[in-house]
């Protein structure tokens, strides 16, 4: 996808909603044992020590995406 088409693909409202939902899901997985229990249930409990290396950057990415979408919404209003 070309850079100039990015604005039409990811407008402020869609970007904001994606960031909010992603942040909520990443926060639930980071701060509650939901993901640890789920991985243990399917036999992948060995991966639990490495979850922080993935989930915290993912949470940060979604928070940045939320902020970007919020700025785009303010700019368009």
Local confidence band at 1 (pLDDT 50, 70, 90 cut-offs) = very low
pLDDT of residue 12: 77
Neighbours of 19 (CB within 10 A): 20
Q: Of all residues in the chain, what percent carry a pLDDT higher than 70?
A: 86
- Residue 10 vs residue 49, higher pLDDT: 49
Contact 17, 57 (CB under 8 A): no
The per-residue pLDDT for range 6-35, each reduced to its tens digit, is 555 567 788 889 999 999 999 998 888 888
What confidence score (pLDDT) does residue 52 get? 86
Domains of the chain, by residue range, sit at 13-76
Q: Residue 56's Cα: distance from chain center in Å?
A: 10
> To 10 degrees, the CA torsion angle through 46, 34, 55, 71?
170
């Amino acid at each position: 996808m070309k850079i100039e088409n990015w604005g039409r693909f990811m407008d402020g409202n869609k970007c904001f909603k994606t960031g909010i939902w992603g942040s909520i899901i990443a926060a639930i997985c980071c701060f509650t044992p939901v993901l640890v229990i789920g991985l243990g249930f399917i036999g992948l409990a060995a991966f639990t020590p490495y979850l922080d290396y993935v989930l915290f950057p993912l949470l940060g990415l979604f928070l940045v995406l939320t902020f970007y979408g919020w700025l785009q919404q303010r700019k368009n209003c």
